[in-house]
Chain A
Amino acid sequence: EVQLVESGGDLVKPGGSLRLSCAVSGFTFSNAWMTWVRQAPGKGLECVGLSISKPDGGTTHYTAPVKGRFTISGDDSKNTLYLQMSSLKTEDTAVYYCAMSLLPGAFDIWGQGTTVTVSA
């Protein structure tokens, strides 16, 4: 069974940095397309970034609100995907989910989420 476990969420001041982890078990993460999705308190879902599988090029892509501030990377030895967040703003406060696409064209595996709070 494939499982995703996020960690690293915390309370951080505006302008600060944080690194979120998405530990993958049951599948080699670099062989899958993975995305980071966030949900602000009481709001809907918003994709912030995409990691394309190594066989398909291994590139990363970001949405406009986080481009230049967030970076997706991975550690093959730990089978873990990361989301490095810098220059954090109060509007980045959200639950952050990682999700994996084992099914082409859909994100079918989701983690439980980790909470990031940006506040002075």
Chain B
Amino acid sequence: DIVLTQTPLSSPVTLGQPASFSCRSSQSLEQNDGNTLLTWLQQRPGQPPRLLIHRISNRFSGVPDRFSGSGAGTDFTLKISRVEAEDVGVYYCMQVTQFPYTFGQGTKLEIK
């Protein structure tokens, strides 16, 4: 199974400041067709997960442009350019390249 390792596990951030989360895969997530199926999900407290980013860097419909994704191969990053109060929650990377689909442990975003 592909193991996804997220760092940090907790990220206290001041409102208006940037935040950055890392996701590292135990093997390349690039498929034979060149697609890399790495997604980022947000889970606000008491809510189901919500898709933010797909295929490394594509923002899902309705996701604010302060969220951006980058990376390739085995190393990926989610960035929030200016954290807002509504961004509090846990952020998970998820790979859909190979079944079983797997998730990182999550990074908890808290406001300082």
Name A residues whose Cβ lies closer than 8 Å to a Cβ of B. 35, 37, 44-47, 50, 61, 63-64, 97, 99, 101, 103, 105-108, 110-113
Contact = CB atoms under 8 A, between A and B. Distances in A.
8 contacts: A44-B106, A47-B103, A61-B100, A64-B100, A97-B48, A97-B49, A105-B35, A105-B39
Contacts of B55: 105-106
A103 B49 contact: no
Nearest to B37: A105
Interface of B: 35, 37, 39, 41, 43, 48-51, 54-55, 60, 90, 92, 94, 96, 99-106
Contacts of A111: 48
Nearest to B40: A106
Most interface-central of B39, B48, B96 (chain A CB within 10 A): B48
Nearest to B100: A63
Contact of A106 (B39, B90, B103): B39
Per DSSP, are chain B's interface residues mostly helix, strand or loop, or mixed? loop
B50 A110 contact: yes
A110 B52 CA distance: 12
B96 A105 contact: yes
Nearest to B54: A106
Contacts of B50: 110
A106 B37 contact: yes
A103 B63 CA distance: 15
A7 to B, nearest CB: 14
A61 B48 contact: no
A47 B35 contact: no
B54 A35 contact: no
Contacts of B103: 44-47
Contact of B48 (A44, A101, A110): A110
